[in-house]
Amino acid sequence: MAQNKSGKKLIAQNKKVRRYYDLLETFEAGLVLTGSEIKSIRDNKVSFKDSHVVFSRGEAYITGLHIAVYENAGYAGHNPDRDRKLLLHKREIDLLRGKVEQKGLTIVPTSIYLKRSMAKMEIALARGKKVHDQREELKRRAVQRDMAREMSKYK
């Protein structure tokens, strides 16, 4: 994968997050990883299914993030579904924890990328969409797609 102008190499993107959540604010966080985990990330072996951020002892952790086992790791492999610590500033952790506890919001990962050879994760403060909101969004996109298709016939 090629790097973009900001030096980021996109590894994985959580494509379903925009369908189920309204994203309010995004943050960049580092990840505490083992050697076999970073090698597996470089091979694009990451799954976001049911992952979210939890707080424990004044720190933020990502749970549910699946990083596949690296084949060539030898005996020192890793647990693919373990909780991983996120590297955030203390004020960011306090801000996010306060919003999650008070307003019923959640924090979900949106993407993982490499920035100057370090793994970073973009997380977003999000509010869950209702089922009818999801349906309206799908209908609106279908109408726009049909309009664009019809307009392209007349060009």
Considering the domain boundaries, does residue 1 fall inside one? no
CA dihedral 72, 78, 80, 84 (to 10 degrees): -130
User: Is residue 3 included in any domain, yes or no?
Assistant: no
Owning domain of residue 48: 8-128
- Asked if the structure places residue 150 within a domain, the reply is no
In a domain, 155, yes or no: no
For residue 114, give the CATH number of its domain: 2.40.280.10
Q: For position 102, what pLDDT does the model report?
A: 82
Question: Is residue 66 in some structural domain?
Answer: yes
Radius of gyration of the chain (CA): 18
Please state, in angstroms and rounded to a whole number, the distance separating the CA atoms of residues 11 and 47.
Answer: 11
Write down the pLDDT at residue 53: 92
Global pTM?
Answer: 0.77
The whole-number pLDDT of residue 122 equals 94
On whether residue 36 sits in a domain, the answer given is yes
Task: Kindly state whether residue 30 falls inside one of the protein's structural domains.
Answer: yes
Number of separate domains in the chain: 1
In a domain, 142, yes or no: no
Per-residue pLDDT at 88: 93
Burial of 139 (0-12, 13-18, 19+ CB in 10 A): exposed
pLDDT at 26: 93
Residue in 120, 66, 114, 113 with CA at minimum distance from that of residue 88: 120
pLDDT in tens for each of the 155 residues of the chain?
A: 566 667 788 888 988 888 888 899 999 999 998 888 888 888 888 988 889 899 999 899 999 999 888 887 777 777 888 899 999 999 999 999 999 988 879 999 999 999 988 999 999 999 888 777 778 888 888 999 988 888 888 86
Residue 79: its pLDDT value, please?
Answer: 80
